[in-house]
Structure 1
């Protein structure tokens, strides 16, 4: 039996919900009438486990609730309508919804051909903010997106990964679910090994999801993309020609939108990349500063010291 066949089987609660045409509580917090969204407590799920995986019961709407832990919803098959922090969303097959502690959501009734997996994370240090900050190391685009926080406050504690952008994540989740529902020797250790990979894949995918909040025709968005992609050789003159904008207009717009000049943003990207290489490789520092676009060694060292409050050689000694 494969995963979809297993998940398609009707659980006891599903049979009851199908028969009654109404929600059957599966947790004590959801019993009775609630005046506000109840908080689901972690002790109900985690018994010496890093994660808890379950199928969402079909045939009845699930009431609004929140969690004390990070939750991931994965649409294995079909579709799912949810109201997240008061806003309706349609999730389709392959979509992944990541919800932080305190986000509130309700789920409309799933049909026979709709399959939703819940993955709950036991480690409270893992949050959307923590994942976001992991990406601060290298991308000037992501740094600006994170600083400016273009998302509305309702969306700040959840993020939706659409199907076309997450093939690696889907494969990891499928592998974890196979080990979870069809346990074999070492399944627990294999799941624990997949967990950090899943977390890093989620973190790596965040810049794309956040960048979607900018219009593709926004020159500010486009110049940040250019800086990220071509920082070693890019100039303001080249950027203005590529984007078909007057150089002075583009320079003023960048300063107004980011609070920094084009040169400051370019140097920030070069310094972030240089620091990443200094920390993670043994490449000679002279080679690194040249590779990231600095032509003057003294200028590089001055900029690096101002940015990181130490010298590259001191980082290497740590």
Structure 2
């Protein structure tokens, strides 16, 4: 991040000066930014799209020296701990953000913040996109492999899905670099800044998925075995078989099949097909390799079976996906 941007965040604004003297929260939200009808239902202030009049992304410093009361919003928000630390209560759960951490809040996620000191800089990045949500990010992460799907299913309770994600960044990486570039671009307001900021936001979301470390609960011996098998499927999906895995791990094939179904929730065959289709779709949308060659490449011998399963999982056909990918590529180059 540029020294100019950092100086901007460190400088006290009028609200901060008032809060530093009073030690009490000074309202910085105009009435036109509050949806009164939704606020009545949510029992807390609900911020609307007031901040996006002429831009797709709105960035501001979180005011220091006083706690911030519980509120929610109709857009997505990232809280980036640029330096220092803070305590945030999100949907009733207490979180502590430290330097480099990023908290992603979904639409409707209630949260409040503790008091920040002079050296604590928290940056709010707010954006609208009806196609982006916590569920979408989970789906994108899961689509990397069946291995990650298994980990996430053990971590996230679908019946009580979290409306937030926290990305811990202790040592710095590409996510932090992109965040700093995005914030610099916004604060310095150069020509074409909005277009560049939107591009950085897309890159940032993809990088978050790539760098999101999934922590699992303690695993049993059978679960550790299944994790090994899922890794095997991810690495050798073209040619792997249950028979070969039974020999590799010295288990009866039928026993291993039943154990796999119990732990994963689907059969070995279903899981292997899903992994193959993940790779097939990547090749369909990012290359011009003929579909027939892709089917052979991923290890499926029955073309009718491939098309049927592709439609079941993605609710589209390979041809439709490739056409859409071509259109997106043309639009991006205009």
TM-score (norm 2): 0.79
| Deviation by residue 1:206-254 (Cα, 9 ceiling, x = unmatched) | xx44x32454664244433332233223333554677687655443222
Q: Which residue of 2 aligns with 1:59?
A: 65
Aligned residue pair count: 308
Query: How do 1:1-318 residues align onto structure 2 when only pairs under 5 Å count?
Result: 1-28=3-30, 36-43=43-50, 45-135=51-141, 137-144=143-150, 150-151=156-157, 156-164=162-170, 167-205=173-211, 208-209=212-213, 211-215=214-218, 218-219=223-224, 220-236=226-242, 239=245, 248-294=254-300, 297=301, 299=302, 301-309=303-311
Partners of 2:14 and 2:323 in 1: how far apart?
60
Give the drift of 1:140.
1.9
**1:81–1:90: 8 Å Cα contact kept in structure 2?**
yes
**1:72–1:99: 8 Å Cα contact kept in structure 2?**
yes
Give the drift of 1:174.
0.7
Partners of 2:286 and 2:304 in 1: how far apart?
21
Partners of 1:185 and 1:311 in 2: how far apart?
41
**1:137–1:276: 8 Å Cα contact kept in structure 2?**
no
Partners of 1:293 and 1:165 in 2: how far apart?
40
**2:295–2:306: 8 Å Cα contact kept in structure 1?**
no
| Deviation by residue 1:99-148 (Cα, 9 ceiling, x = unmatched) | 10111111111112211110000333322223333445452234456667
TM-score (norm 1): 0.83
| Deviation by residue 1:253-298 (Cα, 9 ceiling, x = unmatched) | 220133322122112211221233133312244543343234xx3x
Instruction: Please state whether the residue corresponding to 1:80 is helix, strand or coil.
Output: strand
Consecutive unaligned residues of structure 1, counting only runs of 5 or more, are none
Instruction: Please state whether the residue corresponding to 2:52 is helix, strand or coil.
Output: coil
Partners of 1:48 and 1:268 in 2: how far apart?
42
Partners of 1:20 and 1:41 in 2: how far apart?
28
